[in-house]
Amino acid sequence: MRIKKSMEWILKIRYTLWGPFTIVLIAATGLLLTLRSRGVQFWCARQLVRPKTTRRADGITPFQALCTSLGGTLGVGNLAGVASALTLGGPGAIFWMLVAAFLGMATKYSELVLAVKYRQHTPEPIGGPMVYLSRGAGLPGLAKLFAVCCVLSAMGTGAAAQGSAIAEALAPVLSVPRSTIALVLCAVLLPILCRGGKMIARVSSILVPFMTVSYLLAGGLVLVTHADQIPGALTLIVSRAWEPLACGGGLLGLLTARTISDGFAKGIFSNEAGMGSAPIAHGCADSESPCAEGMLGAVEVFVDTCMVCLLTALVLLTTGAWQSGADGLTMTTQAFSTVLGDFSPWFIGVTVVFLAVSTVLGWSFYGLTCLKWLRARPWMVRLYPVVIVLSAALAGCVPLTSLLLVTDISAACMSFPNLIGLWILSGDVQTETEHFLQHSQTGKK
């Protein structure tokens, strides 16, 4: 009974935080920054083909920053999160997830531009919303609030949800208790986390490209097999997106519908645009060009949502798994089993392990960086990786569906301070972008 009441309260808090105000704020921020960045969604690919960046030698490389950030971004949200969005909001939620991603490309670009522009060297470079809120926007109190939220979110979004996902995916396959999986997870993660940020970045730069390509290939195989169902799935995504409006709910009905709420919430949880997490990794990179680093952020959102999440959604819709009554990873496993057969649980299990481990690594980097910026005592910095690992291990005994709701709450708490900073500093984004595009056109560095 207590568990049921707790879940009801969590649902109330989650849908309050992700109500009309939050949706309008995120959409308006994305629109503003699309204008300020001169439509970065349309020109960043062209510029990335011929990057002109200079580098420092005191941080991680831009590629490591990209992989660390993608590692923190790609995770359980790309598999279980998409399935959860379909369960709660229907196929229309995927449309709004893609809308959030389109706007999020400009948002994440702007976050990274500001992270590199305002980063500080102590002696290693540190950047992110806590830095540009303090140094750029002149809001040290809000900066500290963001840093504290990030430290706590790393234990929830970054560790607990991933630990539960690993246990849920591997327990049926290996026929071992979830507690055993938790112990093995501790043994694998702790040595990496204790060696600090640069080790996390190096491991992420190996894991992320491998797991992303593997998952895209397997998902592509499923779609080729069910190619005749793809047009119907796309039609379903678009038509169901407007159901609340068609039913006479008006604009308010559309904004308060779970379809949009879950689409935006799962989109943010998946690609993290607006949360302020990715700028922490890129702010520590050794790139000297804010806009060149910002373009990588736009690419992250595209890869995460427009490729991986959309692929997962199409797999679930074309195979009919979304109507099976299953939820989360079980639904995703059923979808892939239409092609992979009995190998499907193993494939999803291994994929979840790679995705989840990379997410834990990425988020622990964010949390450690925020702790250092807060000037935490050395013993707290040393203890933090242990807390992250314990959080992931203990969460293995908690249902994943419940933790996904908590991660939505966590995402909202981090987003609000960051979005305020983006509005205040949007003029800086415009100035940097105009300067970058002018120099690109004239061929100057």
CATH number at residue 63: 1.20.1740.10
Residue 445 included in any domain: no
Residue 157 included in any domain: yes
Per-residue pLDDT, 250: 42
Per-residue pLDDT, 225: 92
DSSP line for 40-70: HHHHHHHHHTS----B-SSSB-HHHHHHHHH
Collect all residues with Cβ–Cβ distance below 8 Å to 16 and sequence separation of at least 6: none
Per-residue pLDDT, 60: 52
Rounded Cα gap, residues 417 and 405, in angstroms? 20
Half-sphere exposure of 22 (CA within 13 A, CB side): 28
Rounded Cα gap, residues 264 and 328, in angstroms? 18
Is residue 245 very low, low, confident or very high in pLDDT (cuts 50, 70, 90)? Answer: very low
Q: What integer is the mean pLDDT of 212-234?
A: 89
Residue 3 included in any domain: no
Helix (H) or strand (E) holding 139: none
Q: Please determine, for residue 252, whether its predicted confidence score (pLDDT) is greater than 50.
A: no
Is residue 251 very low, low, confident or very high in pLDDT (cuts 50, 70, 90)? Answer: very low
Number of domains present in the structure of the chain:
1
Q: What integer is the mean pLDDT of 368-383?
A: 86
Residue 1 included in any domain: no
Domain that holds residue 406: 10-440
Q: Please determine, for residue 53, whether its predicted confidence score (pLDDT) is greater than 60.
A: no
Q: What percent of the chain is modeled with pLDDT above 70?
A: 74
Q: Please determine, for residue 40, whether its predicted confidence score (pLDDT) is greater than 80.
A: yes
Residue 230 included in any domain: yes
Residue 108 included in any domain: yes
> What are phi and psi for residue 60, nearest 5 degrees?
-80, 160
Per-residue pLDDT, 106: 93
Mean pLDDT of the chain: 77
- The tens digit of pLDDT for each residue in 386-426 reads 888 878 777 666 665 666 666 667 777 888 899 999 999 99
Q: What integer is the mean pLDDT of 147-167?
A: 81
Q: What percent of the chain is modeled with pLDDT above 90?
A: 17
Per-residue pLDDT, 246: 44
Q: Please determine, for residue 159, whether its predicted confidence score (pLDDT) is greater than 70.
A: yes
Residue 5 included in any domain: no
Residue 4 included in any domain: no
Rounded Cα gap, residues 321 and 342, in angstroms? 16
- The tens digit of pLDDT for each residue in 75-122 reads 666 777 788 778 777 888 888 888 888 888 999 999 999 999 998 877
